[in-house]
Structure 1
Amino acid sequence: MKRARAPEQKAQRRATILHAAEVCYHLNAPNLPSVADVAAQAGVSKGTVYLYFHTKEEIFLALYSFHLNAIFKDIQQVDVSENPTLALTDALLQYVTLHPIFMPLAGMLHSVLESNLSLDVLLNFKLQLSQGLTHTATKLDHKLNSDAGFSERALLHSYAALTGLWQLLQWPSALAHEQGNPQFGALHKSFEEELRLLLRNIWRID
C-alpha cells in the first residue's frame, strides 16, 4: 500500500487504523490486541502503524478519544426543551449501548492506556479532554439556563457513574460458575437500570 502523503490521505489512513483496532479488540477482548494484529486488520505494515502511533496504548487512547468526542457532540445536540434530565440520560445511555467498546476503554484508561504514553501525548490528551469538557458544559449551561459550572460538574459525575458502575458490575469470567449464586445478589444488577437512576439524579434540574 502506498504511503499516505496528503493531509486527507493521512487522516483517512489514521481512521482506517482506528477502525481496525476496534475490530481487533472485539475479537480479542478483554485483552488489547497487538500492533501487528491491528496492522494486519488494517491491511498495512507495522511500520505504517508506527508512523501514526508509537504504542498500542496510544492507538486505543486515540480510539477512546474519538468516542468521547462523539459523546460530547451528541450531548451538545440533545433537545432539552421538554425534559432535559430524561433527554440527556437517554443520549448517554444510547451511545454506550450502541458503542460497546467505550466502557472497556474507559475502564482501562488510567491503569492501562495512560501508563505507556509519552509525556507529550499524555499532556495533549488531558488538554483536549479538558477543552472538550469545558466547551460541552458551556453549551449545556446555556441551553439549560443553569448556573455556570452545573453542567461541568454533572458531566464529571456522569463519567464517574459510567465507569464506576461498569467496573463494579462486570462479572469475571473465572467466576462464571458463581454468577447465579444468591450470595452475590448485590452485584447482579442491571447496568442500564442502575446507570439510568444515577444519571437522572445527576442531571435533575430543580
Structure 2
Amino acid sequence: MAGALAAKRVIPLRARRDEDKEARRRELLDAARALFEATSFAQVKMADVAARTGLAKGTVFLYFPTKEALFLALLDDLLTAWFAKLNRRLAQGGTWTGHQLACAVAGSLEGEETFTRLLALMQTVLEQNVTVAQAQAFKERVLGAMGTTAALLQARLPFLTPQTAGQLIRHVHALVTGLRQMADIAPVAREVLTLPHMAPLRVDFTAELTAAITTLLRGLESR
C-alpha cells in the first residue's frame, strides 16, 4: 500500500522542471513589480531584479531577454486579472444605466495603480523592445479578453453593438492611460498642486474616469 501511494506521488521529471521554471518566472515578475512600485520603470534595472531574487543576471535574461519583455509579461498578468475582476462585476444580471457601468469600470481600477501605470507605458515603452512572437502572444490574449468583456457589456447596456462595445473598451483604455499620466505626478508638482488656486489642475483618477465614461456612454446611446 505504501509503495502504491509513493508511486502516485512521483512527479515526472519534465513536470517538475516546468513547475520550477514557472515558480522562478513568477519570482522574477514579483521582484519586478516590487521594484516598479518603489521607483519607476526607468529606474528598474535587470541587475536589480536579479539581486532581489538572488539569481545571476544571466539567468534573468534566459527567462526575459529584455526589460521590456519582463514588464510586458507583468502587464499581461495584471491585465488578465483586471479583466477577470471587471467581468465578475459585469456578470451581475440586469440592465444597467451608463452611470452604473461607469462606476463599475472605475471602481474595478481602485487599488490597481501598478496596473494602470504599466498600461500607460504599453505602446510607447513596453512593446518597443520585444519580439514579434512576444507581442503577438500578448495581443492575442488581449483580443480574447476584449471579446468576453464586450459580450458582457452588451448584456448590461442593450444599446451597445459588438462594434461599439469594442470601441468602448478601446476608449476606456485611452482614458485610463491619459488620466493615470495626469494623476501620477512628480513630488515637486504634487506640492505645487496643494496651493488653493491650483485646484482645477488636480486629478481625482476615479472621479474623473467615472465622469468621462458616463459622458462617453451618453454619446454612444444617442447615436
Query: What is residue 196 of structure 1 aligned with on the other side?
Result: 210
How far apart are residue 176 of structure 1 and its match? Answer: 4.4
Query: What is residue 132 of structure 1 aligned with on the other side?
Result: 145
How far apart are residue 163 of structure 1 and its match? Answer: 0.9
How far apart are residue 30 of structure 1 and its match? Answer: 5.6
Query: What is residue 58 of structure 1 aligned with on the other side?
Result: 69
2:193 matches 1:179: yes
Bigger radius of gyration among the two: 2
How far apart are residue 76 of structure 1 and its match? Answer: 2.0
Aligned length: 203
Percent identity of paired positions between Structure 1 and Structure 2: 29
Contact preservation (8 Å) 1:80, 1:88: no
Query: What is residue 167 of structure 1 aligned with on the other side?
Result: 181
Q: Distance in 1 between matches of 2:178 and 2:93?
A: 26
List alignment gaps of at least 5 residues for structure 1: none
Aligned CA distance change for structure 1 residues 193 and 59 (closer, same or farther; 3 Å): same
Deviation per CA, 1:70-116: give whole Å up to 9, x if none: 12112222214263645543443334322221121112222221121
TM-score (norm: length of structure 1): 0.82
Q: Distance in 1 between matches of 2:53 and 2:214?
A: 40
Contact preservation (8 Å) 2:82, 2:108: yes
Aligned CA distance change for structure 1 residues 181 and 143 (closer, same or farther; 3 Å): closer
Greater relative CO, 1 or 2 (CA 8 Å, sep 6+): 2
2:163 matches 1:149: yes
2:92 matches 1:102: no
List alignment gaps of at least 5 residues for structure 2: 1-14
2:33 matches 1:19: no
Q: Distance in 2 between matches of 1:84 and 1:37?
A: 47
Query: What is residue 93 of structure 1 aligned with on the other side?
Result: 106
Specify the code of the residue in structure 2 equivalent to 1:195.
L
TM-score (norm: length of structure 2): 0.77
RMSD between aligned alpha carbons? 2.7
How far apart are residue 193 of structure 1 and its match? Answer: 1.1
